[in-house]
Amino acid sequence: MAAYLAEIIPYWSRHIDQPLEPAPRRFKSWYSRGSAEFIERFSLMVETLLANPSGARDLSNTVATIIVLDQFARKIYPKSATAYAGHEPAAHIARSLLSHSEEQSLPIAQQLAVVMCLSNMESLDWHDVGLAWFDTHLVRVPIDQQPLLESFQALAERRREIVRLYGHLPARNQALGRASTPAEAYMMVGHGYEFE
């Protein structure tokens, strides 16, 4: 598996992460449906890691595992329960990295991929871990990286507020077999991937 994981971050960096885009657009790119080529290339890896999400033993492969579970599953199985099945294992792996500050040696885009997977959870506790990371790191990063972190922090704060208001992310309701309340349906009008 390690040999296959080695291609994830280079592919992600070239094709999915959009370093010049603001956070909402980059987030949409991360989680939009993958192409047929993408699905053919990565679906077996996604299935394998969803079935057994542990096993990465070095930092690079651990980050790749988080990206596959958190992002690639969404791209291969959009609007389905399987799309979200990798969020919890990805969040547990990410929290382990963050608790030991292991992510700090990573490029900033990879750090954001790690911490933003926490904002995909439907529990405020996870969101609070992610937001605490932003509070700590905004004062540490070079000044030219602060606007990027601030844009992702704002996005994470909006997602936390949705979970606080509704107890979950309502845009997932249909995929997860949940009925939407009138308030949830109203909230979702005009909103897209950032609330999914």
Q: Using one digit for the tens of pLDDT, what is the confidence trace for 143-164?
A: 888 888 998 999 999 999 999 9
Say how many residues make up the chain: 196
Which residue positions in the chain have pLDDT lower than 70?
Answer: 1-4, 55-56, 190-196
177's CB contacts (< 8 A; 6+ apart) are: 81
Show me where the domains of the chain are located: 2-195
181's CB contacts (< 8 A; 6+ apart) are: 166, 170
**pLDDT given at position 196:** 64
The answer to whether 86 and 50 have CB atoms below 8 angstroms apart is yes
Q: Which CATH architecture has domain 2-195?
A: Alpha Horseshoe (1.25)
User: What is the distance between the alpha carbons of residues 156 and 161, in angstroms, rounded to a whole number?
Assistant: 9
AA identity, residue 112 = L
Of all residues in the chain, what percent are helix, strand and coil, respectively (each to 5)?
70, 0, 30
**pLDDT given at position 98:** 93
Max Cα–Cα distance, the chain, nearest Å: 48
**pLDDT given at position 30:** 72
139's CB contacts (< 8 A; 6+ apart) are: none
User: What is the distance between the alpha carbons of residues 83 and 120, in angstroms, rounded to a whole number?
Assistant: 11
The answer to whether 179 and 173 have CB atoms below 8 angstroms apart is yes
Sign of the alpha-carbon torsion through 12, 14, 15, 21: positive
**pLDDT given at position 43:** 94
**pLDDT given at position 17:** 72
**pLDDT given at position 2:** 61
Q: How many degrees, rounded to 5, is the angle at CA 39 between CA 33 and CA 44?
A: 130
Helix then strand count (H, E) for the chain reads 12, 0
